[in-house]
Amino acid sequence: MTLLLAAIEDAKIWMVADTAITGELLGTRDRVDHLKIARIGAGALAGFAGDERSGTEILDGLRQVAQGVEAIRWIVDYQERNAASHVEIAYGWFAATQPHLVRIAAAQLEYRDVLHLGDTRAFSRLQAIRHASEIDPPPEAISLWMHYCEGPSGSVPSGMTGAIQAMQQLFAQTDDRTVGGVVVPYLIDGIEARRCGYNHSVTDPGCMSLVAGGVVEHGTAERGGFGVSVYELAEYDGT
């Protein structure tokens, strides 16, 4: 399964998704990771939830057609021809400097400003995290957050930052194997679509007992700290 969030915000389009892939061909506790969002040329983004093979075929096929209306028709046609594939698509692009975002499922099209695909239970839990007064920090620890998105102009939309942080917290709070892996964000501003990078690290607990000149300990799995860094390698060949 999948959890994918997307929105139009600050005249940009962003998408955020997990990477976990589960299925009947994998063992009960087995899971592999797969990118579920892709750049489609320089001016569009697409992501999927559902059947991995069908989702990957759609993302690959979109690179062969024109962006916008023609791409939407191609997706609808694919879903009509493969009704048993059970795959949902989020597609975002710019036309005449205006952002557009659609959800396509069962060959039905919806224009949206905000959307989600995939696991509805996971989405409900994520919404509870996002709408809390603040995302709870680890107790007695120092948390550091940085994000990086070369290319699109201006700042990263706050909604995307909140979605990344909430999805990370969701992974830590649940033992549901249908979502998880790594949170991967993309952003498009009408000029260029880019995969964004970020770093989130949390020290081990115990900062309240530090004395002047004391050493702030790195995060360790044994004591509850952690660190995750996501960025794109050269030539877009991995994360």
**CATH code of the domain in which 185 resides:** 3.60.20.10
* Among the ranges given (101-105, 139-143, 144-148, 189-193), the one the predictor scored with the smallest mean pLDDT: 139-143
More confident: 175 or 147: 147
Give the number of domains in the chain. Answer: 1
CA-to-CA dists, residue 61 to 66, 71, 238, angstroms: 11, 9, 20
- CA-CA-CA-CA torsion sign (158, 159, 164, 168): positive
- 47 vs 37: CA distance, rounded Å: 4
Task: Find the mean pLDDT for residues 27-39.
Answer: 75
CB under 8 Å to 74, separation ≥6 — which residues? Answer: 61, 62, 65
pLDDT at 146: 82
Residue that is written with structure tokens 């994000």 in the block: 147
More confident: 179 or 74: 74
Residue 26's pLDDT band (boundaries 50, 70, 90)? very low
Please, which residues bridge with residue 201 across strands?
Answer: 144, 227
Distance between the two ends of the chain, CA-based, in angstroms?
20
pLDDT at 45: 96
If you write DSSP's letter for every residue of 59-89 in order, what string do you get?
Answer: HHHHTTS-STHHHHHHHHHHHHHTGGG-EEE
Domain, as residue range, for 215: 3-236
CB under 8 Å to 45, separation ≥6 — which residues? Answer: 6, 13, 15, 37, 38, 39, 90, 91, 92, 93, 186, 188, 193
Task: Find the mean pLDDT for residues 67-72.
Answer: 94
- For residue 32, pLDDT beyond 50: yes
Q: What is the pLDDT of residues 99-139, one digit of tens each?
A: 999 999 999 999 999 999 998 888 998 888 887 756 665 66
- For residue 153, pLDDT beyond 90: no
- For residue 157, pLDDT beyond 80: yes
Q: What is the pLDDT of residues 44-65, one digit of tens each?
A: 999 999 888 999 999 999 999 9
